[in-house]
Structure formats: C-alpha cells, structure tokens
Amino acid sequence: MSTMPASHGHNEACCNIPPVVTKGYQPLGTYKEIGGYKTYVTGPVDAKKAIVVIYDIFGYFEQTLQGADILAFSDAHQKYKVFIPDWFKGSPCPIEIYPPDNDDKKKQLGEFFETFPPPKIAGQVPDYVKAVKEQDSSIEKLGIIGYCWGGKVVALSVKADSNPFSIAAQIHPAMVDATDAEGLSVPTMLLASKEEPEEEVKKFENNLKVAKHVETFKDQIHGWMAARADLNDSRVKEEYERGYKTVVEFFGKNF
C-alpha cells in the first residue's frame, strides 16, 4: 500500500460509513435524465462538489447504488452529489456470463466490450459533465470513480486533454496499464483486488507523481465493491465497508 501525503488536513474520524445492508437495499437517490442518459442521482441538494461514478459492465446493481449513497453521505465535512449515468441505455452485460469460463461466455463478453469499448465512453464523458453542470449550476468541482470496466474509462478520462475532474479513483479496475498513470495531474487512487495484475499495479503506483493511494485487497475478488459483492459473506462485507471508507477519506483529504 502506498499513500502520498494529502494536500490539506482532514479529520478521519469524520468519515462515518453507515451500516451496510446485505440484501434488499433501498437506494436513497432518484433517477433523472441528464445529457440524454438516465442517471442515478444521490446526495445533498446543496452540495457544491460532484462525483461521477462509472459503473461496472453489469450496470445498476444494489451494491453499486449503496456504494454511491455511502460516498454521498459519509463525510461530515464534505457534501457530494453523486451521478451514475446509464451508458448502456438499459442493456448491461448479463452477470450470469461472469466469470467467462467457457467459449460462449467469452464470446458474449468480447462482444459486449466491442459494443462499449472504454475509449468510446471516455469520449462521451466531457459532454455528460457539461450537461451535469448545466442542470446544476451550484457544482464547482467534480471527481470521478470507476469500477472494473469503468476503471479504464476513468483512466482514459483523466489523462485526456479534456479532463474536467479534480480527483479520480479506480476500483478493481479492468485493463490496468501503468502508462495511464504517466503525467496525471490530479490526486489518484487505485484499489485492486487479488485478481488484478500485481506487477502492473505496482508500476502504476510508481508512475503516479500526484497525491495517491494504491492498495490491494488481497483476499477480495474483482468486483467486491460493486455488482459482484456478496455482502452476505461477512469478510466481503467488511472489506466492502473498508474500501468505501478508504475512498471517502482520500476524497476528503484531496478533493
């Protein structure tokens, strides 16, 4: 694990993660149309900071929505509005095909990635952010968080010349590439599972020259903070909570 010093002080005790619901979570937010995308929106109405969440390939799962609510309401000193746009327009990847342990599943997963390649979505992010700010003029700063496939979208978004974000987090990211960290100018975190390539994660960390937090949750699977989180498993639930607490604290210090 590596943490570079934060840019200003923040009392970690102010981060208070609510009790995690294992099943049947009732989301606190609502769905709105923003920039042509159905969007899950949660957080205090008077928040001046926003977080755009790029979900994983399985779309709107209750574990992901609960995570968005945790991000929005867990810091006593920072108020965030959280936005999760539906890039897949109601047609996410079926979770039944993961893990892709036979040829048919591999084919379906490959076709999905061809339909929604991360560079394509990353190219749409700036216009979406523009729509968010047009709809809510009180928003002054934005951060971005992405899970799995969404982690790659984050990497491409923040390294682009058009980057509108002040902070970024990749959570159990797919397609980790150390070169994505080169030249980044915003605080960046990466939380890896046991399934991400250890050497590439280390290289990514070494290439970051900004405030950073890179950590591997060594007994967790790819997806433990999003759709694939089995919150009925006490250990997964514990690390799901710790993961979100880590994100909230990093954003509290650096956003």
pLDDT at 76: 86
Q: Is the pLDDT of residue 132 over 90?
A: yes
**181-192: pLDDT as tens digits:** 999 999 999 999
**Residue 16, token pair as written in the block:** 């208070």
Q: What is the mean pLDDT of the chain?
A: 93
Mean pLDDT of the region 15-19 = 74
Whether 73 has a pLDDT exceeding 90, the answer reads yes
Q: Using pLDDT thresholds of 50, 70 and 90, give the confidence band for residue 11.
A: very low
What is the residue extent of each domain of the chain?
Answer: 2-254
The pLDDT assigned to 16 comes to: 72
- How is domain 2-254 classified at the architecture level of CATH? 3-Layer(aba) Sandwich (3.40)
> 120-129 long-range CB contacts below 8 Å, 24 or more apart?
121/54, 121/87, 121/153, 122/153, 122/156, 122/157, 122/160, 124/87, 125/52, 125/153, 125/157, 125/164, 126/160, 126/162, 126/164, 127/35, 128/34, 128/35, 128/37, 128/52, 128/85, 129/52, 129/164, 129/165
What is the model's pLDDT at position 17? 75
- Does residue 9 register a pLDDT over 70? no
User: pLDDT of 192-231, one tens digit each?
Assistant: 999 999 999 999 999 999 999 999 999 999 999 999 999 9
| Span 55-67, average pLDDT | 97
**Max CA separation in the chain (angstroms):** 51
pLDDT at position 18 is 81
Q: What is the pLDDT of residues 160-185, one digit of tens each?
A: 999 999 999 999 999 999 999 999 99
Mean pLDDT within 16-20: 80
Please tell me the least confidently modeled range out of 14-18, 40-44, 115-119, 180-184.
14-18
pTM beyond cutoff 0.85? yes
